[in-house]
């Protein structure tokens, strides 16, 4: 199994275990120091999974899409879309396999599908052409990339 396949499998385990209420499967993919939104710990996620909170949000067609946008050495960044959530996750390689170290998510109820201009090129980074993205995560990421690109261009001109 390639690293990319292993990362995708870990993210799929994360998403499916949430909707299935499978705490053992969730435990296998969460890093012990997992944090989400700076306050949600691995223990919080495991307890919520065990309580079946994700089961209430499940749908017959989960529409899970996983995109590995960065993979180098022992770290990876993944964007995962499902019928319910948009998640951006960071993973690390451990002796026990790839583990999710942290993440942020947004309910799909408050955002629309990714627009065509946000499709990532071969470099793995999104195309940030100044177009307004329909969700905060994409806007923040692209705005930061545009600022970095602008400052790099100014440095080269000198």
- Residue 57 is predicted with a pLDDT of 87
The boundaries of every CATH 3.10.450.50 domain in the chain are: 1-109
What secondary structure letter does DSSP report for 95?
A: T
Q: Are 100 and 89 in contact (CB under 8 A)?
A: yes
- Residue 60 is predicted with a pLDDT of 85
Average pLDDT estimate for 125-129: 38
What secondary structure letter does DSSP report for 84?
A: S
Q: Measured between alpha carbons, how far is 146 from 152 in angstroms, rounded to an integer?
A: 10
* pLDDT tens-digit series, residues 14-28: 999 999 999 999 999
Mean pLDDT taken over the chain:
76
Beta pairing partners, 91: 76, 100
Q: Measured between alpha carbons, how far is 55 from 2 in angstroms, rounded to an integer?
A: 31
In the CATH scheme, what is the code of domain 1-109? Answer: 3.10.450.50
* pLDDT at residue 123 tops 60: no
* pLDDT at residue 146 tops 60: no
* pLDDT tens-digit series, residues 34-77: 998 778 899 999 999 999 999 988 888 888 999 999 999 999 99
* pLDDT at residue 142 tops 50: no
Q: Measured between alpha carbons, how far is 46 from 28 in angstroms, rounded to an integer?
A: 10
Distances (CA, A) of 103 to 57, 60, 130, 157: 19, 25, 25, 37
- Residue 49 is predicted with a pLDDT of 94
- Residue 56 is predicted with a pLDDT of 86
**Burial track 4-15 (b if 16+ CB lie within 10 A, e otherwise):** eebbbebbebbb
- Residue 108 is predicted with a pLDDT of 73
N-to-C CA span, the chain? 47
């Amino acid at each position: 199994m390639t690293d990319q396949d292993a990362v995708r499998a870990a993210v799929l385990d994360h998403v499916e275990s949430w909707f299935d209420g499978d705490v053992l499967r969730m435990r296998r993919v969460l890093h012990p120091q997992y944090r989400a939104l700076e306050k949600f710990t691995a223990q919080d996620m495991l307890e919520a999974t065990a309580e079946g909170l994700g089961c209430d949000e499940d749908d017959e067609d989960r529409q899970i899409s996983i995109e590995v946008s960065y993979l180098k050495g022992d770290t990876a960044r993944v964007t995962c879309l499902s019928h319910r959530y948009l998640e951006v996750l960071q993973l690390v390689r451990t002796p026990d396999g790839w583990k999710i170290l942290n993440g942020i998510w947004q309910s799909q109820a408050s955002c629309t599908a990714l627009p065509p201009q946000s499709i990532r090129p071969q470099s793995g980074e999104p195309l940030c052409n100044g177009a307004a993205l329909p969700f905060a995560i994409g806007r923040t990421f692209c705005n930061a990339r545009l600022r970095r690109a602008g400052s790099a261009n100014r440095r080269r001109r000198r």
